[in-house]
């Protein structure tokens, strides 16, 4: 779904460079959060010997009992996916 955002301001300078810089800064922050999330997920995978895909399959198939660790892992995967979507949206943004 394409969205259009219009920014109006009482400024004498061109706002485009500021908006571009703000988006780039947000992308840097998102990338840091993605990297941290990937590290936490790697920790779960190392401790269990399962990939995240295997974990999700086994959890949905009730082969793994739900616990605080499985809840943490599930939430971390959901968080990672959200961060990645946000990052991708900003990558695809067109500023004219």
SS3 label, residue 49: coil
Q: pLDDT tens for residues 55-75?
A: 999 999 999 999 999 999 999
pTM above the 0.95 mark?
no
Write down the pLDDT at residue 59.
Answer: 96
**Model confidence at 49: pLDDT above 90:** yes
Query: Is residue 66 one of the residues assigned to a domain?
Result: yes
Q: Which domain holds residue 58?
A: 39-96
The tally of domains found in the chain comes to 1
For residue 72, give the H/E element and its range.
helix 68-92
Query: Is residue 60 one of the residues assigned to a domain?
Result: yes
The DSSP secondary-structure symbol of 62 reads T
Query: Is residue 20 one of the residues assigned to a domain?
Result: no
Which tokens hold the place of 32?
A: 């840091």
The DSSP secondary-structure symbol of 15 reads S
Query: Is residue 52 one of the residues assigned to a domain?
Result: yes
Query: Is residue 26 one of the residues assigned to a domain?
Result: no
């Amino acid at each position: 779904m394409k969205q259009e955002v219009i920014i109006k301001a009482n400024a004498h300078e061109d706002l485009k460079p500021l908006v571009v810089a703000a988006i780039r800064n947000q992308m840097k922050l998102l990338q840091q959060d993605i990297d941290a999330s990937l590290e936490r997920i790697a920790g779960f995978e190392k401790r269990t010997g399962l990939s995240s895909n295997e974990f999700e399959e086994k959890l949905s198939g009730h082969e793994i009992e739900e616990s605080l660790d499985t809840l943490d892992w599930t939430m971390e995967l959901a968080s990672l996916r959200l961060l990645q979507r946000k990052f991708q949206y900003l990558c695809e943004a067109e500023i004219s």
